[in-house]
Amino acid sequence: MKKAGICGMSALGAISNPDVCVVLTTQWRASAFGFAGDPNARTICLDDLAEESRWIRQAVTPHPFGVFARAAFLTGLRSPKNGIENYFDPLPAKSRSLAAAFEVAGYETAFFGKWQLYERDPLAPVVGEAHARVVVPENRRLGFGLWEGFESGFLLNDPLLHGTGIPQPKRFEGYQSDVVIDRFLEFRRRRTSRKPLFSVISLDSPHPPYAAPAAGIKPLDPDSIRLLRGTTSDPDLRATARRELSGYYSHIEATDRSIGRLVDFERKFGCWNDSIFAFSSVHGDMHGVDGKFRKGWPDEEAVRIPMLIKGAGIGVDDDLLMSLVDLGPTLLGLAGVDSAWGGDGSNLASCLLGGDPGPPQQEISMPSVPPFAKQCAYVWNANRTPERTEVFPKDDEPYTLEHLGNWEFEA
Task: Find the mean pLDDT for residues 281-306.
Answer: 98
Considering the domain boundaries, does residue 4 fall inside one? no
Give this prediction's pTM: 0.95
pLDDT at position 355 is 87
| Domain residue limits at 335 | 20-402
Examine residue 235 and state whether it is found in any structural domain, yes or no.
yes
We report the CATH number of the domain holding residue 311 as 3.40.720.10
pLDDT, tens only, 337-372: 988 898 999 999 999 998 899 999 999 999 999 999
Structural domains of the chain, count: 1
Q: Is residue 409 part of a domain?
A: no
| Residue 384 counted as domain residue | yes
Tell whether 6 is covered by a domain: no
Q: Which of 156-170, 267-281, 290-304, 387-401 has the lowest mean pLDDT?
A: 267-281
pLDDT of residue 14: 60
pLDDT the model gives residue 177? 98
| pLDDT in the model for residue 13 | 54
Q: Which residues pair with 399 in a beta bridge?
A: 391
In a domain, 2, yes or no: no
- Mean pLDDT, rounded, for 118-144: 97
- Does pLDDT of 380 surpass 60? yes
Q: 108-114 and 146-150 as β-strands: parallel, antiparallel, unpaired?
A: parallel
Give the model's pLDDT for residue 15.
63
pLDDT tens digit sequence for 243-259: 999 999 999 999 999 99
Torsional sign, CA 328, 333, 339, 342? positive
pLDDT of residue 16: 72
Cis peptide before 370 (omega within 30 of 0): no
Kind plus residue range of the DSSP H or E element containing 317:
strand 315-317
Residue 11 domain-assigned (yes or no) = no
Average pLDDT, the chain: 94
Cβ-based burial of 186 (10 A; exposed 0-12, middle 13-18, buried ≥19): exposed
Determine the pLDDT at residue 1. 25
Per-residue pLDDT tens over the stretch 5-31:
223 344 445 667 899 999 999 999 999
**357 found inside a domain:** yes
pLDDT digits (tens, 9 = 90+) for 35-67: 999 999 999 999 999 999 999 999 999 999 999
Model confidence at 404, in pLDDT bands (50, 70, 90)?
Answer: confident
Span 172-193, pLDDT tens digits = 999 999 999 999 999 999 999 9
Region label for 15, one of left (φ > 0), alpha (ψ between -120 and 50) or beta (otherwise): beta
Q: Provide the pLDDT for residue 269.
A: 87
Weakest mean pLDDT among 41-55, 143-157, 258-272: 258-272
Over residues 134-144, the mean pLDDT reads 97
pLDDT (tens digit, 9 = 90+) per residue, 198-227?
Answer: 999 999 999 999 999 999 999 999 999 999
Angle between helices 44-51 and 235-269 (to 10 degrees): 60
